[in-house]
Chains A and B, each alone.
Chain A
Amino acid sequence: GQNIDQPTEMTATEGAIVQINCTYQTSGFNGLFWYQQHAGEAPTFLSYNVLDGLEEKGRFSSFLSRSKGYSYLLLKELQMKDSASYLCAVMDSNYQLIWGAGTKLIIKP
């Protein structure tokens, strides 16, 4: 079966760095996405990785290792507004998105 695993909840301090991991087992691979979702709102796109390596976009970076079925989202200089759920999703061979359950990130002052 297809499976996406990510931690349920993480806590970090304002101004610090946090890494949210995601491991996956899917039928085929056409890229991995990270989305941010604030409570009561729809997800917003953060990043897309299809090749191995690190993609940096401002305070957010995303890493992919296809051989390990592993990705992480790195958030630097954390701000209170970064408190949200972070969803990892993999696009399988049918171009369908397989979603992880999301990681709730709590930022403390």
Chain B
Amino acid sequence: GAVVSQHPSWVICKSGTSVKIECRSLDFQATTMFWYRQFPKQSLMLMATSNEGSKATYEQGVEKDKFLINHASLTLSTLTVTSAHPEDSSFYICSARDEGRETEAFFGQGTRLTVV
């Protein structure tokens, strides 16, 4: 099956700093990647849709200047949490759609972000 690798798995950072999370499709090309946020005991919340070579589409209520998304190649999308605050602490998950198998979305392992 298709593999999506997300890095890092967990990160602790200080308030005010920035954190970059990478999402890579290892064995397929993904023109579209999705970034989710998940709070404890809650379902996935779509933050933005990342399109290769173009600007990301952000969901309502998600600050695009705070959550910077770059999708520079067909196998890599990055999410940068800028000027992190403790309330940004969450589980961030990326998924990628295999364009050859449009009906499936494959998930990365997730990144546990803790801002102290």
Residue from the list B42, B43, B103 in contact with A48, Cβ < 8 A: B103
Q: Which interface class (under 10, 10 to 19, 20 to 34, 35 or more) fits B?
A: 20 to 34
Q: Can you list, as one digit per residue, whether each of B101-113 has a CB less than 8 Å from chain A (1) or not (0)? A: 0111111111010
Q: Can you list, as one digit per residue, whether each of A36-69 has a CB less than 8 Å from chain B (1) or not (0)? A: 0000111111001010000000000000000000
Q: Closest CB-CB distance, B111 to chain A, in whole Å?
A: 9
Chain A residue numbers with a CB within 8 Å of B107 are 42-44
Contact (Cβ within 8 A) A31 B103: yes
Interface residues of chain B, those whose CB is within 8 Å of chain A, are: 6, 34, 41-44, 46, 49, 91, 93, 97, 102-110, 112
Grouping DSSP codes into helix (H, G, I), strand (E, B) and loop, the A interface class, with mixed when no group exceeds half, is loop
Chain A residue numbers with a CB within 8 Å of B108 are 42
Contact (Cβ within 8 A) A42 B105: no
